[in-house]
Chain A
């Protein structure tokens, strides 16, 4: 399951961010592998919006497809 499959309101955990530069940039914004995130919206064919507490980040579709996630409670 990747970030691109997430719908508004889904809560999940970031499992793996493949691309290094995305990983580093996400670390700065406060999102890393293992972070608990909520999806705050998704443009059809466009970016996915992540929400962690009050912080919102928009991630492009292709990057989102390369970020794998797992549902909360799944290991």
Chain B
């Protein structure tokens, strides 16, 4: 991205008036957005997982939902996106978490300093009450100089007042009224820039805005002075309007603090992982999949399809085989996607949405920080790593939230190498749960060892060191079920759209390779590796060829081959470490570059076969 770049607003929404929703992460902006526009968007609890901008219409005005930020600036992608929307807004609705006024008012004051017409929606008033906090609304309104409307969006309270008060938006009391030195500097720059908002950003050392004013020399660097003055002003306001009654003790707070004490937090995390395994690996991967794949698809759908093809274009020709043969597009590919993977992926996203919306994820980040530091990452990296168990492609994009380029390279490589995605994990869980504990341990420990060794190696080889953790911990909340289901549904649909075409293409490719004899040739040539080195039946080569297209496709291919427990374990280890899927590769090229993606690809080949062979030699 070039430094001066600006976000292109959707052409259709170039309305006369732009209303922008702005606020810290997890304050409920999206609920306001839905109310104002009537379009659903996903609301998530972890700072930084909604980079998509939602837009909609309210009468003649366009409404935009921006990513949650703690301030307007260019620290990360979220801020840059939010900044450009905020600066182009006609009216801002600032959604504030009333139970975190000290934190949230910093952004509010900054929006006021940008000289934007705005109103404040003081959200989560129910939590204020629960925590025995009193807020003097009139005093707050007077200090800020803008309209303040108390709301509890999750319970539908106050939303209508916000909607009806948009026209009453005004500019508030900026910090320059309280600081004559800064005011002088501000007036000087204001006369040279397009508007107040850009003048403020210039003084706050925002690189992108400064870049657009490259002809302006001698702009004073006043970010720290302005931030300090703003913080002082906010502290002054909160001192006037807030009264705490600290006697309250809350169940959610207690749980939150137990999640951060190693003695209680580690057992809690282990129990959680066990429950997740029971749900995905046992309930979904066996009970549900047995019904969907075994009964619905293999039992009812496939025979029906084969009959249909046999009676129309005939079964014993190339097209018949292509459509309904062993690797048929209409048989195998459809069964894999809908019968096998769909339930697994949906189950995984359901769990992840619950974790996200409950506020537990950042606490896992704190817990894992020390370990992740050892492989050159920090606690924040737990987010892309966990997301990677859902879909490596999506997780690769979220590595943007990591602080440095070095961390991104390490995270992307580890994602591509050792994190199996939900689709693959589901197939693996299904295969592995039939094995003894010993084989499961061998599998888990091998993958874990490779992950740690690769991370440690990269941490040693790449210059520099990991950056340190500094994150906000959102309160523990009971997730809103409607929101959780909606999010699961959207992500599952996205998965089918992404994986579907690749599966169909892959199935077609395998059929062509089989019919032309190429598959047999590869199987024979791969024999020294598969049979001698890995100790597997020659037929597993097919699964590896399938794995190049998609890893879960490969793992699914294994289910069709009869293997001993040791063979299952080795082939799963090799396939897990094997090349990332085509979609993930394309994203890696886009996010990093072609050279790094190719390194990752070949690095995975080598790691996969070397590790598989070592396990074969020493353990079995």
Contacts and interface: CB of A to CB of B under 8 A. Distances in A.
**Does B associate with A?**
yes
A22 B228 CA distance: 13
B102 A53 contact: yes
Interface residues of A, number: 32
Given A22-B470, A60-B378, A54 B257 contact: no
B365 A58 contact: yes
Nearest to B256: A56
A74 to B, nearest CB: 21
Contact of B470 (A30, A44, A56, A58): A58
A44 B99 CA distance: 30
Contacts of A56: 256, 472-473
Contacts of B366: 43, 46-47, 49, 58
Mostly helix, strand, loop or mixed at chain B's interface?
A: helix
Given A28-B106, A58-B366, A60-B369, A49 B473 contact: yes
Given A30-B102, A30-B106, A32-B228, A58 B475 contact: no
Contact of B223 (A24, A41, A57): A24
B369 A47 contact: yes
A53 B244 contact: yes
B224 A20 contact: yes
A26 B471 CA distance: 10
B99 A54 contact: yes
B262 interface: yes
A13 to B, nearest CB: 14
Contacts of B103: 28-30, 55
B260 A61 contact: no
B209 interface: no
A57 B100 CA distance: 12
A10 to B, nearest CB: 15
B52 interface: no
B363 to A, nearest CB: 8
Contacts of A46: 366-367, 369-370, 373
A70 interface: no
A46 to B, nearest CB: 4
A57 B366 CA distance: 10
B426 interface: no
Interface string A37-52: 0001101111101001
A41 to B, nearest CB: 4
Nearest to B260: A41
A22 B262 CA distance: 26
Contact of A54 (B228, B378, B475): B475
A29 B472 contact: yes
Given A41-B257, A43-B366, A46-B369, A62 B223 contact: no
A71 interface: no
Contacts of B261: 8, 41
Contact of A40 (B75, B224, B260, B367): B260
A55 B260 contact: no
Contacts of A25: 70, 75, 470
Interface in B126-179: 131, 133
B416 interface: no
A27 interface: yes
Contacts of A40: 257, 260
7 contacts: A25-B470, A28-B70, A41-B257, A41-B260, A57-B472, A57-B473, A61-B373
Interface of B: 70-71, 75, 99-100, 102-103, 106-107, 131, 133, 223-224, 227-228, 230-231, 234, 244, 256-257, 260-262, 362, 365-367, 369-370, 373, 378-379, 468-473, 475
- Nearest 10 Cβ contacts at the A-B interface: A60-B468, A60-B469, A46-B370, A30-B102, A56-B473, A63-B468, A28-B70, A41-B260, A58-B366, A27-B227
